[in-house]
Structure 1
Amino acid sequence: MAVQPSLATPIPAPAAARWLTPLEIGLLGAIWGASFMFMRVAAGQFGPFALVEVRLALGALVLLPFLWRARASFPLRLWPKLALIGAINSAVPFLLFAWAAERAPAGVGAICNAMTVLFTALVGAVFFGERIGLGRSLTLVAGFAGVVVLASARIAGADVGAAVAAGAGAALLYGVGINLVRRHLSGLPAAAVAAATLSCAALLVLPFAIGDWPSRAPDMRAWSSAALLGVVCTGLAFVMYYRLIARIGAGRASTVTYLVPLFGVAWAWWLLGEQPTLRMAIAGALILGSVAMSQRAR
């Protein structure tokens, strides 16, 4: 899950919709948190390439009507840029999270995902000259300390360091992708941009998915998880997120970032029996606390 920046001005919400906003933020957090559980269930049978191809293709199909409606805003000269951003912001991060899901509990990936906010600030400072100040610099240190704590853990007797590195790498790429979207795709309809980048990412992954397609057909549980991952957690979730941005703005909509790790750990504990550990709790507290302080400092 990469929370892309707003490409539109928020529209004031009517009084009747005020109660709906926190409900939708909670639902979106639950959906994106469940995505790590679905990856955990399906990755072992599909493998990373096939699973990510299913996810990208189904998510793009859900969003294609938005792209078709805004097709006049997407000339041919823009598509190489869309393909590059699709690789950075979707294809490779999704592959890294799927690879990690084969090797570590779902909660590990969900916690790493929260680093996206911090990496977005870091990439903006290092490569685009944004000033982050002392306060946000300290939050970055705290967040990275949380990653170190998580990477050094042994969960269910297994070393999860490689999976944490993959999850952190995915969050870093999300941070790069968000900065690129801000600078090169501003002014375009956000849902159409998501449809275009997901479509490009699906085409990029397709040859690898064909070559690595599982020789043994995944069972119904794995197929159901892959379908829900693509349709609900990718396609429909982005529609919900952009509706929230239009209503309340990107700043308030991004509070869903705090809910994703909590739901990710809770779903995996409840439905997969993956017990959270003390190190996971400490790492999650450090990362989410640093994200909250970073947003406040900003």
Structure 2
Amino acid sequence: MASLLSLFVLAALWGSSFLFMRIAANPMGPALMIEARILLAAITLLLIALLLRKRLAFLSHPKHYLILGLFSTALPFVLIAYAAQTLNASTLSILNSTAPIWGALISVVWGGNRLTKKFMVGLGLGVLGVFVLVGKEASLVGWDAAIPMLCSVSAAFCYGIATNYTKIAPKVSSFNNAHGSMWGASILLLPLAILMPAREPMTLEVGFAVIMLGIFCTGLAYILYFRLIDEIGAASALSVTFLVPVFGILWGHLFLGEPVGWNTFIGTLLVLAGTSWVTGFSVTQLLKNARAS
């Protein structure tokens, strides 16, 4: 039961990240906002590491942490932040949930995994769900939404690359992967953040959003995620993907007044159904595994 509660808390935190990015992306600019988010997360993890007496040997695997930081954090975060300047939190969270589909597709190309009929059906459902969102969003925002949507899907693709990279990466503890990748990502993003300063003076609302993003939605959320991996296994922990869009839609509607239309429901169902078929994981299995822990 404790694992099930942790899973919902994690989904709520990651779902709220799209809300906070919507608040801070335009005034701060994508690069500076994400650099602040990642640095806050890295410092949070450093303090936890000191408290738990966990030593991060960054110089032992600098290339690994930079690669992981690039594809799991720096690049996808900036792409989502750019998209957040235009798209609503609901759309961002749903498009982000396609990450397991991309991860499975990359594993077919990269790892030589076999294409099955079930995989192809799942992929088709996921793509159809994205098109439902794209078509309706374009009619509301205009075709200016096309590039932000492409960025959001590209961010999910980056997560797929990161997932497959970890299969061949050096064997490092989950905590050190989270901690080291944050420092790697902050190093990579620093030049871009310097070149793209804030567009508007900092306000309390924007400052609060960045603090929530860095400390809670990233630093503490990663700790919770890797604790879940230890408790219920990697596959079950990754199934938080099914729950994040629910909270992304809820927070966007409650706090930003974003409309929840038919396309949101249908697009979400199609994407999550496709994810379930591609990964072979179901919500029923998720709840069963979490309850048993």
TM-score (norm 1): 0.88
Q: Please report how far the alpha carbon of residue 154 of structure 1 lies from its aligned counterpart in structure 2 after TM superposition.
A: 3.0
Name 1:62's counterpart in structure 2: 44
Name 2:19's counterpart in structure 1: 37
Name 1:225's counterpart in structure 2: 209
User: Whole-Å Cα distance in 1 between the matches of residues 209 and 17 of structure 2?
Assistant: 9
Q: For structure 1, which segment, 220-229 or 122-131, has the greater mean C-alpha deviation from structure 2 after superposition?
A: 122-131
Name 1:162's counterpart in structure 2: 147
Alpha-carbon displacement from aligned partner over 1:77-134 (angstroms, at most 9, x marks no partner) = x212321221122111000100010001111110011101100000111122122422
Name 2:110's counterpart in structure 1: 127
User: Whole-Å Cα distance in 2 between the matches of residues 197 and 217 of structure 1?
Assistant: 29
Instruction: Identify the match of residue 255 of structure 1 among 239, 247, 250.
Output: 239
User: Whole-Å Cα distance in 2 between the matches of residues 257 and 170 of structure 1?
Assistant: 14
Name 1:174's counterpart in structure 2: 159
CA contact (8 A) 1:147 1:164 kept: no
Structure 1 residues 10-89: aligned runs within 5 Å: 19-64=1-46, 65-66=48-49, 69-72=54-57, 75-76=59-60, 78-89=61-72
Q: Please report how far the alpha carbon of residue 144 of structure 1 lies from its aligned counterpart in structure 2 after TM superposition.
A: 1.2
Instruction: Identify the match of residue 92 of structure 1 among 47, 68, 75.
Output: 75
Q: 1:88 to 1:297 in 2, by over 3 A?
A: closer
Letter in 2 for 1:153: K
Partner of 1:82, secondary structure, is: helix
> Which runs of 5 or more structure 1 residues have no equivalent in the other structure?
1-18
Alpha-carbon displacement from aligned partner over 1:175-226 (angstroms, at most 9, x marks no partner) = 00111012113x3111111111111111111111112111532211011001
The count of residues paired between Structure 1 and Structure 2 equals 277
Letter in 1 for 2:69: G
TM-score (norm 2): 0.89
CA contact (8 A) 1:153 1:161 kept: no
Q: Please report how far the alpha carbon of residue 39 of structure 1 lies from its aligned counterpart in structure 2 after TM superposition.
A: 0.3
Q: 1:210 to 1:119 in 2, by over 3 A?
A: same
CA contact (8 A) 1:93 1:169 kept: yes
Partner of 1:139, secondary structure, is: helix
Structure 1 residues 91-110: aligned runs within 5 Å: 91-110=74-93
CA contact (8 A) 1:151 1:162 kept: no
User: Whole-Å Cα distance in 1 between the matches of residues 166 and 137 of structure 2?
Assistant: 37
Q: Please report how far the alpha carbon of residue 247 of structure 1 lies from its aligned counterpart in structure 2 after TM superposition.
A: 1.1
> Which runs of 5 or more structure 2 residues have no equivalent in the other structure?
283-293
Name 1:138's counterpart in structure 2: 121
| RMSD (Å), alpha carbons | 1.8
Q: Please report how far the alpha carbon of residue 75 of structure 1 lies from its aligned counterpart in structure 2 after TM superposition.
A: 4.8
Q: Please report how far the alpha carbon of residue 297 of structure 1 lies from its aligned counterpart in structure 2 after TM superposition.
A: 6.7
